[in-house]
């Protein structure tokens, strides 16, 4: 079976922001933002509430996608948009991000 084409405009080694709890598997990704200013990706868990900066991690896009293949569904997320879901088994919903949300 052929492998799925890479759906992101950035290469797998592009740096992204996430949290230690997501990378450890303690939290699932339920919110993805793509910054309008620089195209940067953020993979977060908003359902877990606020997180402190010492929880932040810089990881490659490929690392995050290898943990959760459903992220391939939002690989074409436009600059300045976000995608969210109620849980890992729920579908992604896309919306243009407001400045206040970030």
What is the Cα Rg of the chain in Å?
Answer: 13
Please give the residue range of the domain that contains residue 48. Answer: 17-86
Q: What is the pLDDT of residue 52?
A: 82
Q: Is there a contact between 30 and 86 (Cβ–Cβ < 8 Å)?
A: yes
- Cα 102 to the center of its chain, rounded Å: 14
Give me the sign of the Cα torsion angle 79, 2, 25, 84.
Answer: positive
Whether the full predicted model's pTM is greater than 0.85, yes or no, is: yes
Tens-binned pLDDT, residue by residue, of the chain (102 aa): 345 799 999 999 999 999 999 999 999 999 999 999 999 999 999 887 777 889 999 999 999 999 999 999 999 999 999 999 998 899 999 999 985 554
Q: Is residue 70 domain-resident?
A: yes
Q: Is residue 23 domain-resident?
A: yes
Counting the structural domains of the chain, the total is 1
């Amino acid at each position: 079976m052929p492998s799925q084409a890479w759906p992101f405009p950035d290469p797998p080694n592009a740096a992204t922001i996430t949290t230690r709890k997501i990378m450890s598997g303690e939290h699932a990704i339920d919110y993805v933002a793509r910054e309008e200013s620089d195209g940067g990706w953020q993979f977060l868990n908003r359902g877990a509430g606020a997180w402190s900066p010492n929880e932040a991690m810089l990881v490659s896009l490929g690392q995050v996608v290898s943990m959760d293949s459903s992220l391939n569904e939002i690989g074409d997320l436009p600059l300045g948009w976000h995608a969210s879901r109620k849980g890992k088994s729920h579908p992604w919903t896309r919306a243009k991000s407001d400045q206040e949300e970030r």
